[in-house]
A and B are shown apart, each in its own frame.
Chain A
Amino acid sequence: KAGVTQTPRYLIKTRGQQVTLSCSPISGHRSVSWYQQTPGQGLQFLFEYFSETQRNKGNFPGRFSGRQFSNSRSEMNVSTLELGDSALYLCASSGPEGGRYEQYFGPGTRLTVT
């Protein structure tokens, strides 16, 4: 079974730009979560989507948004990039019922904002 895939793996953007990251969950998984990982703050929860609906949201500004498609693939968007948005963005899927912590993480997208 293929794992969680994320594209692109690396990205360099300029302050003020926007960026879209993509995540394909494991086949059959309907829950997709996004996390931001930085050395200073660690792993922080951004949001979770289940069956195309946002089910949970972390404490991030509205510049961070996401969506999920009918095939469970998910995208997250960050508008008006700031230097502090430089981080590893991780996507994790679980399911098929969003079950007991068997979350599977992708390798992440390393975003650098200059």
Chain B
Amino acid sequence: QKEVEQDPGPLSVPEGAIVSLNCTYSNSAFQYFMWYRQYSRKGPELLMYTYSSGNKEDGRFTAQVDKSSKYISLFIRDSQPSDSATYLCAMSKSPNYGGSQGNLIFGKGTKLSVKP
């Protein structure tokens, strides 16, 4: 079993839809969770960073963490064509990047397409 599982999609939704992206993980040592967005021919960019279980909101984006179920989600409200990208979840055992504990483990990414 891989440490982080993410449905690769592709996921196609109409503009304005609510999008739900999910990852599950197996290692309870993961405490810090991130979502990255990667546009075609670009490197990933950090969207959200969360630590505790619960919700964190940033504009149209909400990150949700359920440590008891080892399940994280990213919700996108009022989706736009510009949200079309691949979304990668990532997680780590350490709050600080770097060193043996600070390694990020990524999901494979979900490709999202928002149709106008």
Contact = CB atoms under 8 A, between A and B. Distances in A.
A75 interface: no
Interface stretch (B11-19, B42-50, B57-65, B77-85): B42-50
Contact of A103 (B41, B42, B95, B97): B97
A43 B95 CA distance: 20
21 contacts: A31-B97, A42-B88, A42-B107, A43-B44, A43-B90, A43-B108, A44-B106, A56-B99, A58-B103, A94-B97, A98-B102, A100-B49, A101-B97, A102-B46, A103-B97, A103-B104, A105-B43, A107-B41, A107-B42, A107-B43, A108-B43
Interface in A38-92: 41-45, 48, 50, 55-56, 58, 90, 92
Given A4-B43, A107-B41, A100 B97 contact: yes
**Contact-residue bracket for chain B:** 20 to 34
Given A102-B46, A105-B44, A43 B88 contact: yes
Interface in B75-116: 88, 90, 92, 95-100, 102-109
Nearest to A9: B41
Interface residues of A, number: 28
A43 B106 contact: yes
Contacts of A55: 98-100
Given A42-B107, A55-B98, A58-B103, A101 B46 contact: yes
A100 B97 CA distance: 5
Contact of B108 (A35, A42, A94, A103): A42
Most A C-beta atoms less than 10 A away, residue of B43, B44, B45, B106? B43
B34 A101 contact: yes
A36 B97 CA distance: 18
Contacts of A104: 43, 45
